[in-house]
Amino acid sequence: MSSKKLTVADLIAQKDQLKNKKQRTQPLFVESLDSEIVIREPDPAVAIEAVEMAQDPEKSSLADAYVVYHTVVEPNLKDGELQKAYGCAEPTDIVKYIFRPGEITAISGHALQLAGYGSGVRKINQDLKN
């Protein structure tokens, strides 16, 4: 697979598109709920906070739920009525009440991929020439 080299001219031509890009969204099917949800790519601050949480032994188990809470846009997990109905002590508690542990990890992974974390960039293999 060949790729073209990105040039300054390319970046200038794409300026408006790159400066005004919208957060991407993606529907996901959640088997345990037999329903579809919609996620959006996380804000950079959310992604950074999640990485910091993941590296802290006391908070590492909360990182994926944090990402899910901030990236699921349909249904709105931040809805006050929803939070109250489930008796959430912390806003992110709603995530563990609604989704199974493996689903939380998967949803978080999909959201981070939308923002380019772990995908979107790959190494180009170059043949060694003698």
pLDDT tens string 61-106? 899 999 999 999 999 999 999 999 999 999 999 999 999 999 999 9
**Whole-prediction pTM value?**
0.78
Q: Of the candidates 52, 53, 47, 6, which has an alpha carbon nearest to the alpha carbon of residue 23?
A: 47
Q: Which residues pair with 22 in a beta bridge?
A: none
Q: Specify the 3-state DSSP secondary structure of 30.
A: strand
Is the previous residue joined to 57 through a cis bond, with omega within 30 degrees of 0? no
pLDDT at residue 130 tops 50: no
Q: How far apart are CA 106 and CA 32, in angstroms?
A: 13
Higher pLDDT, 42 or 1: 42
Q: What is the pLDDT of residue 129?
A: 47
Q: What is the pLDDT of residue 14?
A: 82
Q: How far apart are CA 19 and CA 3, in angstroms?
A: 23
